[in-house]
Amino acid sequence: MDFRSIGSLRVSVVGLGCNNFGMRIDEAATRRVVDAALDAGINFFDTADIYGATKSEAFLGRALSGRRDRAIIATKFGMAVDERRKGARPEYVRQACEDSLRRLGTDRIDLYQLHQPDPAVPVADTLGAMNDLVKAGKVREIGCSNFSAEQLDEAARAVKPGAARFVSVQNEYSLLHREPEKSVLPACERLNLAFLPYFPLASGLLTGKFEPGRPAPPDSRLSQSWTSRFTTDANVRVTEALKAFAARHGHTVLELAFSWLLSRAPVASVIAGATSPEQVRANAAAAKWTLTAADLAEIDRLTDR
């Protein structure tokens, strides 16, 4: 397993997204997935207070009990846990952090991320509260998610000298969703931010398990109604072309999805969810294809870029 940097953190280039914990899998299955991740060399675990209605953090914390030092834990706050627990007000930042620390059963969060911008709160106020958490030793690094390039620039301008700044941004990015290339990835390079792509497999479409004209496997994420935006005719057509391209090179489209993302300079780790040890092992092994300039040009053509 290779490693890259997020601020002062060294993370595995394949991370484990923990949004299935407490939602699609129970605590025993969560432990099996976490065990497989550690065995495969994955040290980066990304969760959030809202995942699994707060169960994800609790399940992850208990699965890592006794081996916390083997893991880099990232979690998030800001989206609504309920009507009272949401947003980015300084007093809530402090409360949310304490709640996450308790659920995770740890004394520190390695990467604490604002899950989405809060237009009702100046970002300088939120950054000040997050900096206090860093100074108190409760958080090591801070990041954000679902930020535009303009919002990243605004946050960079709001940081006081010597204070903690965002070191990462986590936005949707995949072979089928290349919106970050317009302005967010250039902002990452300009501001020295690590980029963390979520939905790197387009919610399962890029695993290669989806067959055009057939329903998604009943136990897959693509079988859920909210994922219909991924299975458009255009996305299915492009995916089939990418599958054929990967096969010609002796690889799978899953390997292509991971390796292509890791060819993008600001990407530090590809965070993919898993519901079984087999999925974890497949993901961990998928990041070993070094794409050539000709490969990348052909991929751009196949994805209409």
C-alpha span between 121 and 24 (Å, rounded): 33
If one counts every other C-beta atom within 10 angstroms of the C-beta of residue 191, the result is: 17
* CB of 45 closer than 8 Å to CB of 37: yes
Residues labelled as active-site residues: 51
Give residue limits of the domains in the chain: 3-204+254-291
Residue-level pLDDT at 215: 67
Q: Above 90 in pLDDT, residue 302? A: yes
Q: Taking the model in full, what pTM does it have?
A: 0.93
Residue-level pLDDT at 208: 86
If one counts every other C-beta atom within 10 angstroms of the C-beta of residue 61, the result is: 22
pLDDT confidence bin for 221, thresholds 50/70/90: low
pLDDT digits (tens, 9 = 90+) for 18-45: 999 999 999 999 999 999 999 999 999 9
Percent of the chain with pLDDT over 70: 95
- Please name the fold of domain 3-204+254-291: TIM Barrel (3.20.20)
Residue-level pLDDT at 198: 96
Rg of the chain on CA atoms, in Å: 19
Strand pairing category for 194-198 and 44-46: unpaired
Q: Above 60 in pLDDT, residue 83? A: yes
